[in-house]
């Protein structure tokens, strides 16, 4: 399935790393409220060679997504799921709402399909414990 291949390529790019994936959209208020918390985590862990952060947008308005990225200038990987693939993505990964955070281990296996939000103190503590 094409959708699995896209996501697999994102995760396999970071094999050997723990990856926190953020599914979001520009029109999602709670998603946008998490961005400053992701920024803080990215900054705090920028020298930790085993943690990576990835945001995957489900925006259908590509220009709105590009404007948001231009305004925020995120310092982590950004991807956009094509509109035609979004339904399949949601079904494959069980995404029923956003923001949705998923955690993958160093082997690319899903550790948590509904990981804590970056705004939760325990997420910061969890990431601090990774070596």
> So which residues are the catalytic ones?
28, 31
Cβ atoms of 105 and 35 within 8 Å: the answer is no
Cβ atoms of 41 and 118 within 8 Å: the answer is yes
Whole-number Å distance between alpha carbons of 129 and 1: 35
Token reading at 127? 């990431």
Nearest to 32 by CA among 60, 81, 71: 71
For residues 117, 17, 57 and 45, what is the CA-based torsion angle, rounded to 10 degrees? 50
């Amino acid at each position: 399935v094409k959708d699995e291949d896209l996501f697999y390529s994102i995760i396999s790019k970071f094999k050997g790393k723990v990856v926190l994936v953020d599914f979001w959209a520009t029109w999602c208020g709670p998603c946008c409220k998490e961005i400053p918390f992701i920024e803080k985590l990215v900054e705090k862990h920028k020298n930790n060679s085993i943690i990576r952060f990835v945001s995957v947008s489900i925006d259908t308005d590509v220009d709105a997504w590009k404007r948001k990225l231009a305004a925020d200038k995120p310092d982590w990987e950004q991807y956009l799921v094509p509109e035609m693939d979004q339904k399949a993505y949601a079904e494959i990964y069980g995404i029923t709402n956003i923001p949705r955070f998923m955690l993958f281990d160093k082997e690319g296996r899903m550790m948590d399909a509904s990981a804590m939000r970056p705004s939760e103190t325990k997420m910061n503590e969890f990431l601090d414990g990774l070596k």
